[in-house]
């Protein structure tokens, strides 16, 4: 366990090096919120409706704000492509000969990245949420808090496993970057990042809500938005755990099979 | 003057050929990129369909007019990405690693070399997609087609691409001070995500200040909106002139800013 603690500490230090880039990046990340507020404001005005897809205007804007929180847990930028790169260029050798599990190593890297992210992004997030306070519906009820926090944590694990599973494809296909882009595009829509899944036609909504992507973003967000009761919340947690179990098996088997095929390219 | 221009044209021809050779080496990659772009467009269309399922128009733009705007946005992004995007992304990398030295040493304009060296043919596939969407939407709106409209549209599309290029080039130049700049590509994504919707939606925000800034100072809002307006909505002479003039001015400014930023460049190698 101590070696992973070292990994965690090194990753922590590495993240603090480029602070300016980080702050600019965090603020830039919120710029689409401006578009969201403007666009949905125009849509609600033009449609002359109280609710669209079960959401009022304020809830709609809050939905996108909370998506940012949920993505802060669940998104793993560059994870799949890092794994793909390590496989393609033969860098995996360096890990195989060490008494270190590559997947667990990366899990610790990501935990460190997330921790630094939460510490450094707290101020920009708080500012943006304060600025948008008139849209927000308020804190979820006290009894839902444990479920909300658990669902965010599980969304982190789920995001990690989904990206790992995609990255593992590199063992079988040498060039996957173009595929990764397709994956990202689909994930953006299917996870409810582009718009709440409740807006979809009913038959499509039913299919999409079953996929792991919905459990990464859409469900935790609806939970935090106060659109679910305890019972529904527990169902979300159950769904997340089920998908995590499935993906954990996929990643474990995929990793073993993949290593057997691995050719360690390069000098 | 004439020979200098000819020399640059020849060099550009060379870049275009190299790009094609590179692209032909990764044919499967090309196919996948095209498929994912179609996927992206398809998902955007679902989004548009969802929104216009709830309302007949958004700030005066009908569904078909908006589709024309979206098509124009695709066309402009495609041209920008084909010629400039990959190159501009590389600028901050070159600065960080000190490899900018090799670009500076070459006997041609540094800005020219940095901006155009690599062409991305896969991104070019979006241009016909965007045009196709425009064509479909145009027929649906029933607007009339005139030579003047088409010429103006082409002119505005070009100045839109130049505007985007100049803004992003200036942004890339800031890596001289910031060194690491992974934000550059995000920045581009956000810029386009704000400009692909009708500009009017920003008018109620901060008493119109935001709309004013994004239209006149960082003119990203007129990039796709204006050409689309000219074709399917109304012709606003003042804005059209402003778009063309500001594109030219921004291009000049980008060159000034870059050369000024270079004074702070310290090579990274030993």
DSSP per residue, B5-41? HHHHHHHHHHHHHHHHHHHHHTHHHHHHHHHHHHHHH
Of B28, B179, B201, the CB nearest to A42: B201
Q: Indicate the residue of A25, A38, A178 with minimum beta-carbon distance to B29.
A: A178
A212-266 residue pLDDT tens: 999 999 999 999 998 898 999 999 999 999 999 999 999 999 988 888 887 665 5
Segment B93-101 mean pLDDT: 81
Nearest chain B CA: its distance from A152 CA (Å): 24
Say whether residue B183 is in contact with chain A using an 8 A CB cutoff: yes
Q: Pick the residue from chain B with its C-alpha nearest to A52.
A: B54
Does A74 fall in a domain? yes
Closest CA of chain A from B74, distance in Å: 16
Residue-level pLDDT at B180: 61
Report the chain B residue with the minimal C-alpha distance to residue A22. Answer: B183
pLDDT at site B257: 92
Could you give the CA distance from residue B126 to residue B36 in angstroms, rounded to a whole number?
Answer: 10
Give the closest-approach CA distance of A199 to chain B in angstroms.
Answer: 7
Report, as ranges of residue numbers, the positions in chain A whose pLDDT lies below 70: 15-19, 21, 174, 263-267
Q: Can you tell me the distance from the alpha carbon of A158 to that of A150, in angstroms, rounded to the nearest whole number?
A: 12
Residue A229 sits at φ, ψ, to 5 deg, of -95, 180
- Domains contained in chain A, number: 1
Q: Is A18 on the interface with B (CB under 8 A)?
A: yes
Would an 8 Å CB–CB cutoff place A257 in contact with chain B?
no
Of the candidates B32, B50, B197, the beta carbon closest to that of A35 is on B197
Residue B33 contacts A, CB cutoff 8 Å: yes
- For residue A43, which residues of chain B lie inside 8 Å, CB to CB? 51, 54-55, 58
Mean pLDDT over each residue of chain B, to the nearest integer: 87
Quote the tokens at residue B219. Answer: 């003119």
Residue A266, domain member (yes or no): no
Q: What is the pLDDT of residues A41-64, one digit of tens each?
A: 999 998 888 888 889 999 999 999
Rounded average pLDDT over B101-108: 83
- pLDDT of B266 reads 75
> What's the longest Cα–Cα distance across chain A?
66
The beta-carbon neighbor of A43 closest among B39, B58, B178 is B58
Yes or no, beta carbons of A177 and B54 under 8 Å apart? no
CA of B158, closest CA in chain A: separation in Å? 25
pLDDT of residue B244: 94
Residue A53 domain-assigned (yes or no): yes
The residue behind tokens 């940012």 is A68
- Element housing B149 (H / E): helix B147-173
Closest C-alpha among B230, B63, B70, B215 to residue A46: B63
What residues are paired with B58 via a beta bridge?
B61
Choosing among B180, B189, B203, B207, which should be mutated to test the A contact, i.e. which has the most A CBs within 10 A? B180
Taking each helix axis as running N to C, give the angle between helix A102-131 and helix A145-168, from 0 to 180 degrees, rounded to the nearest 10: 130
Whether B35 contacts A182, CB under 8 Å: yes
Q: Rounded to an integer, what distance in angstroms lies between the CA atom of residue A29 and that of residue A252?
A: 33
Please report the pLDDT score of residue B75 as a whole number: 94
Spatial contact of A144 and A222, defined as CB atoms under 8 Å apart = no
Residue predicted with more confidence, A2 or B185: A2
CA distance B207 to chain A (A): 12
Q: Provide the 3-class DSSP secondary structure of residue B270.
A: coil
Paired strand residues for B61: B58
β-partners of residue B62 are B57
pLDDT at A267: 45
Helix or strand holding residue B62 (H, E): strand B61-62
**Distance separating alpha carbons of residues A62 and A133, to the nearest angstrom:** 9
In a domain, A90, yes or no: yes
pLDDT of residue B270: 46
Among B32, B204, B210, select the one facing A182 at the smallest CB separation.
B32
Domain for residue A267, yes or no?
no
Where is pLDDT greater, at B221 or B188? B221
| Cβ-Cβ contacts under 8 Å, B50 against chain A | 195, 199-200
Q: Is the pTM of this model over 0.80?
A: yes
Which three-class secondary structure string do you get for chain A?
CHHHHHHHHHHHHHHCCCHHHHHHHHHHHCHHHHHHHHHHHHHHHHHCCCCECCECHHHHHHHHHHHHHHHHHHCCCCHHHHHHHHHHCCCHHHHHCCCCCHHHHHHHHHHHHHHHHHHHHHHHHHHHHHHCCCCCCCCCCHHHHHHHHHHHHHHHHHHHHHHHHHHHHHHCCCCCHHHHHHHHHHHHHHCCCCCCHHHCCHHHHHHHHHCHHHHHCHHHHHHHCCCCCHHHHHHHHHHHHHHHHHHHHHHHHHHHHHHHHCCCCCC
Q: Does the complex come out with an ipTM higher than 0.90?
A: no
Q: Which DSSP letter does residue B196 get?
A: T
Give the dihedral sign, CA B112/B115/B121/B124.
Answer: negative
**A5-9, B72-76, B98-102 — which one is most confidently predicted on average?**
B72-76
B108 to each of A117, A195, B102, B136, how far by Cα in Å? 42, 47, 12, 43
Domain residue ranges in chain B: 2-264
User: For residue B91, is pLDDT > 90?
Assistant: no
Residues in chain B: 270
Please name the residues in contact with B102: beta carbons below 8 A apart, sequence gap of 6 or more: none
User: Do the beta carbons of residue B145 and residue B118 sit within 8 Å?
Assistant: no
Search chain B and give the residue with CA nearest A176. B29
Range of the domain at A175: 2-261
User: Please, which contacts does B233-239 make with residues 24 or more away whose CB atoms are closer than 8 Å?
Assistant: B233/B61, B233/B65, B235/B152, B239/B215
In B, residues 40-69, which contact A (CB 8 Å cutoff)? 40, 43, 46-47, 50-51, 54-59
CB spacing of B36 vs A178 below 8 angstroms: yes
């Amino acid at each position: 366990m101590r070696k992973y603690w070292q990994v965690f500490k090194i990753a922590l230090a590495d993240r603090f090096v480029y602070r300016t880039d980080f702050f600019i990046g965090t603020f830039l990340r919120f710029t689409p919120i401006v578009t969201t507020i403007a666009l949905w404001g125009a849509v609600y005005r033009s449609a002359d409706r109280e609710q669209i897809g079960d959401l009022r205007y304020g809830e709609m804007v809050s939905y996108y704000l909370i998506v940012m929180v949920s993505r802060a847990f669940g998104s793993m930028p560059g994870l799949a492509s890092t794994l793909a790169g390590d496989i393609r260029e033969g860098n995996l050798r360096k890990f195989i000969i060490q008494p270190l599990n590559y997947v667990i190593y990366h899990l610790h890297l990501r935990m460190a990245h997330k921790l630094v992210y939460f510490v450094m992004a707290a101020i920009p997030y708080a500012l943006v949420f304060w600025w948008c306070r008139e849209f927000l519906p308020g804190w979820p009820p006290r009894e839902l808090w444990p479920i909300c926090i658990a669902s965010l944590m599980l969304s982190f694990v789920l995001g990690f496993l989904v990206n790992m599973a995609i990255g593992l494809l590199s063992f079988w296909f040498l060039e996957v970057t173009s595929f990764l882009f397709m994956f990202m595009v689909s994930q953006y829509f299917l996870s409810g990042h582009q718009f709440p899944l409740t807006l979809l036609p009913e038959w499509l909504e039913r299919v999409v809500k079953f996929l792991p992507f919905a459990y990464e973003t859409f469900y935790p967000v609806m939970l935090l938005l106060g659109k679910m009761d305890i019972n529904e919340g527990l169902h979300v947690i159950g769904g997340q755990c089920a998908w995590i179990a499935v993906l954990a098996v996929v990643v474990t088997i995929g990793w073993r099979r993949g290593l057997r095929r691995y050719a360690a390219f390069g000098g | 003057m004439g020979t200098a221009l000819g020399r640059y044209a020849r060099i550009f021809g060379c870049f275009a050929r190299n790009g094609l050779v590179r692209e032909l080496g990764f044919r499967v990659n090309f196919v996948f990129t095209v498929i994912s772009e179609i996927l992206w467009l398809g998902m955007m269309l679902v989004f548009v369909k969802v929104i216009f399922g709830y309302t007949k128009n958004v700030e005066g733009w009908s569904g078909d007019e908006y589709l024309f705007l979206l098509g124009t946005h695709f066309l402009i992004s495609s041209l920008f990405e084909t010629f400039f995007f990959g190159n501009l992304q590389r600028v901050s990398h070159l600065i960080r690693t000190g490899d900018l030295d090799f670009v500076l040493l070459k006997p041609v304009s540094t800005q020219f070399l940095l901006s155009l060296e690599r062409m991305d043919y896969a991104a070019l596939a979006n241009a016909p997609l965007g045009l196709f969407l425009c064509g479909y939407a145009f027929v649906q709106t029933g607007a009339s087609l005139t030579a003047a409209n088409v010429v103006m549209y082409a002119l505005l599309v070009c100045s839109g691409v130049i505007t985007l290029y100049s803004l992003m080039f200036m942004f890339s130049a800031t890596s001289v001070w910031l060194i690491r700049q992974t934000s550059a590509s995000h920045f581009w994504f956000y810029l386009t995500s704000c400009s692909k919707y009708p500009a009017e939606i920003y008018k109620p925000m901060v008493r119109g200040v935001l709309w004013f800034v994004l239209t006149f100072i960082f003119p990203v809002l007129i990039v796709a909106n204006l050409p689309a307006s000219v074709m399917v909505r109304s012709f606003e002479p003042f804005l059209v002139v402003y778009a063309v003039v500001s594109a030219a001015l921004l291009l000049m400014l980008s060159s000034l800013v870059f050369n000024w930023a270079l004074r702070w460049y310290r090579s990274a190698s030993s």
